[in-house]
Amino acid sequence: MILTIGDSFTYGEELPDRTSQAWPYLLAKKLDTTVTNLGKCGGSADRCFRVIINNLSRNKYKLVIVAWPFPHRIEAWDNISNSPVCTNQNSVNSNLPWVDDWYKFSYNKDHAFERWSCQILALQSFLKQIKQDYLFLNVAGLQGDYDLYEKKLGHIWSNIDKTKYLGWPELGMIEFQGDCPIGPGGHPLELGHQRIAETIYDFNNR
């Protein structure tokens, strides 16, 4: 069994039949195994970090894939659903009326990138220590953000194990899907997910 985690791109948002068409399920089929897909719409990097370590403290998988979301998202607790909820500054979430103010008065992009970079490095150490095979990738290549933060975070990024990080830093799922059709919400459709699954499969088998 493989374990996948990420945001709506990993969940399979906008697909008619996500449990057969999203890349985690396509990849599992190619690897002749099953998948536990913990992708969640709006999922944050904080959630990926927390959930993966929690899960791997109990279980072991053939392969773990973390498809890191954009680092600006936050994760809080939703008392109504009694579960964690992730959000960002573009979300209109009536359950979390404080979020607008949070982004307006308390959000800092540099800080979010630094936090995420530390999570990447520490999670790689954790996975290596427990001898869990894994690979990381991003939803989208860092593009301009790489140049923007290279000076500030380069000392952390230079310690990332790139042999386990597909596409770092310039490529991610958005680039892997290429010019495939996307849904109204901007998510890849069937062909895009096939290309993402193939890219991950090739990287894993290289």
* Binding residues vs another protein (CB under 8 A): 46, 49-50, 52-54, 57-58, 76-79, 84, 96-99, 101-102, 105-108, 110-111, 114-115, 117-119, 121-123, 125-126, 128-130, 155-156, 158-159
Half-sphere exposure of 43 (CA within 13 A, CB side): 28
Residues 6+ apart with CB under 8 A from 51: 5, 38
The amino acid at 80: I
Minimum distance of another protein from residue 54's CB (angstroms): 6
Q: How far apart are the first and last CA of the chain?
A: 20
* Cβ-based nearer residue to another protein, 20 or 108: 108
* Cβ-based nearer residue to another protein, 100 or 202: 100
* Cβ-based nearer residue to another protein, 107 or 203: 107
Minimum distance of another protein from residue 83's CB (angstroms): 9
Minimum distance of another protein from residue 116's CB (angstroms): 10
* Cβ-based nearer residue to another protein, 107 or 201: 107
For 78, left (φ over 0), alpha (ψ -120 to 50), or beta?
beta
Q: What is the 3-state secondary structure (H, E, C) of 67-116?
A: EECCCCCEEEEECCCCEEEEECCCCCCCCCCCHHHHHHHHCCHHHHHHHH
* Cβ-based nearer residue to another protein, 49 or 176: 49
Q: Angle formed by the axes of helices 109-129 and 144-157, to 10°?
A: 50
Minimum distance of another protein from residue 166's CB (angstroms): 21
